């Protein structure tokens, strides 16, 4: 099967892109041909082959204007690309590539699948000023409505219910988080807790709290810090990740005199991030909007307690180490009541790389088979 993947970002940028990379690698090992069209960033080459995957980077992306230009240019580039090659399936990550990718797929008779990596909907109005919130909300809805996808993939039933009124496409619920058993096993067995904590400046009597994720409004890190500022217990909050909210977060830390309690590490390689997760006392998820976050499943698979806001598909994750809160103010209460890790292997069984990739492969083969039947008719 010849699969074209269209994504504004590709590995190693962020959790969703990391999962996409692992999916592509797995499908390649199963003898499927994978071609990726993505944006060019940080001096990357226009083209490269990586582990049997062809990666095309025709032009850059960036701020809002450059992302719009990327989408416009992508239409012309894809049109020529599809005229010159035979493709069985187009798989795109919403939102920027969705309209050009799915409309051209329909034009050339290629089934297309759109993954909604995130969907905030009306929650945008809690995250931004009214004009920006309205723009983001309309962009999400119009992209879903105007896209000509055969199938829309979401990660949890909650999102499926919210987007169902905006599309006539088939909706499939598939968790996009793929846990690599080898990486999890390597981290569980090889992490030196003491060294990691010493390197991060964690004192023996400090509770090591960890947040991993982009510093963007939806992650709600700003309010998490404000809540923890009033907590009496001795703690160190380590933030792994970067983003447009960093400057705002840094100013808050200075204003609240929390330089000794909050550490910003910025982005870290995935292996290092897993070791940090393995070494923490509690992983925190403060998000206002999520589907099924990679980091929550990784932390649970690594045997760490997680305290998470009740968002998206998080409440559907079954683990004794997952503690849900409705408000950030409840985090302290949960910790004070006692949070200890319990040994379990449910997460690796339910969200393994092999299991999730089989679901995607089955969907791709079904739609590709429909295309072949149509061509025979």
| pLDDT interval class at 377 (50, 70, 90) | very low
| pLDDT interval class at 339 (50, 70, 90) | confident
- At the topology level of CATH, where does 2-176+352-369 sit? Rossmann fold (3.40.50)
| pLDDT interval class at 345 (50, 70, 90) | confident
pLDDT at 372: 47
| pLDDT interval class at 350 (50, 70, 90) | confident
pLDDT at 373: 47
| pLDDT interval class at 371 (50, 70, 90) | low
Percent of the chain with pLDDT over 90: 73
350 burial type by CB count under 10 A (0-12 exposed, 13-18 middle, 19+ buried): middle
Q: Which two tokens stand for residue 105?
A: 């797929």
Q: Which letter does DSSP use for residue 60 in this model?
A: B
What pLDDT digit, counting tens, does each position of 265-306 carry? Answer: 999 999 999 999 999 999 999 999 988 898 999 999 999 999
**What residue spans of the chain are helical by DSSP H?**
14-29, 64-84, 98-107, 130-146, 157-163, 181-190, 193-199, 221-229, 246-255, 270-279, 294-301, 330-336, 346-350, 353-376
Cα–Cα distance, 57 to 87 (Å, whole number): 18
What pLDDT digit, counting tens, does each position of 159-181 carry? Answer: 999 999 999 999 999 987 778 88
What pLDDT digit, counting tens, does each position of 117-128 carry? Answer: 888 888 888 887
What's the predicted TM-score (pTM) here? 0.86
- The CATH class that applies to domain 181-350 reads alpha beta
Q: Give the domain ranges of the chain.
A: 2-176+352-369, 181-350
Cα–Cα distance, 358 to 67 (Å, whole number): 32
Domains 2-176+352-369 and 181-350 equal at CATH topology level:
yes
Give the mean model confidence (pLDDT) for residues 2-31. 87
What pLDDT digit, counting tens, does each position of 205-236 carry? Answer: 999 999 999 999 999 999 999 999 988 889 99
What pLDDT digit, counting tens, does each position of 234-243 carry? Answer: 999 999 999 9
For residue 212, the cross-strand partners are 240
Cα–Cα distance, 113 to 1 (Å, whole number): 15
């Amino acid at each position: 099967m010849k699969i074209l993947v269209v994504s504004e970002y590709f590995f190693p940028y962020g959790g969703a892109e990391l999962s996409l990379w692992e999916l592509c690698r797995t499908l390649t090992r199963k003898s499927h041909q994978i071609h990726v069209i993505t944006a060019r960033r940080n001096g990357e080459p226009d083209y490269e082959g990586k582990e049997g995957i062809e990666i095309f980077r025709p032009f850059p992306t960036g701020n809002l204007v450059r992302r719009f230009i990327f989408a416009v240019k992508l239409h012309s580039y894809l049109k020529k690309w599809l005229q010159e090659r035979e493709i069985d399936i187009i798989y795109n990550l919403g939102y920027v590539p969705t309209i050009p990718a799915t409309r051209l797929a329909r034009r050339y008779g290629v089934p297309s699948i759109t993954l909604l990596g995130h969907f905030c909907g009306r929650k945008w109005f809690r995250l931004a000023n009214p004009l920006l919130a309205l723009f983001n909300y309309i962009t999400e809805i119009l992209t879903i409505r105007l896209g000509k996808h055969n199938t829309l993939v979401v990660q949890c039933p909650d999102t499926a219910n919210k987007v169902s009124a905006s599309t006539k496409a088939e909706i499939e619920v598939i968790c996009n988080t793929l846990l690599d058993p080898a990486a999890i096993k390597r981290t569980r067995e090889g992490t030196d807790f003491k060294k990691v904590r010493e390197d991060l400046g964690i004192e023996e009597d400090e509770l090591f709290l960890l947040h991993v994720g982009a510093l963007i409004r939806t992650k709600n890190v700003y309010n998490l810090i404000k809540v923890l500022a009033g907590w009496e217990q001795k703690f160190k909050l380590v933030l792994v990740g970067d983003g447009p909210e960093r400057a705002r977060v840094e100013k808050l830390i200075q204003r609240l005199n929390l330089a000794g309690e909050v550490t910003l590490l910025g982005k870290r390689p995935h292996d290092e991030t897993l070791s940090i997760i393995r070494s923490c006392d509690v992983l925190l998820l403060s998000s206002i909007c999520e589907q099924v976050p990679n980091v929550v499943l990784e932390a649970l698979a690594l045997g760490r307690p997680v305290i998470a806001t009740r968002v998206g598909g998080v409440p559907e994750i079954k683990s004794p180490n997952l503690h849900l809160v409705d408000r950030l103010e409840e985090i302290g209460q949960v910790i004070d009541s006692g949070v200890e890790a319990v040994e379990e292997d449910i997460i690796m069984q339910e969200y393994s790389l092999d299991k999730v990739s089989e679901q995607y492969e089955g969907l791709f083969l079904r739609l590709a088979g429909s295309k072949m039947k149509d061509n025979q008719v």
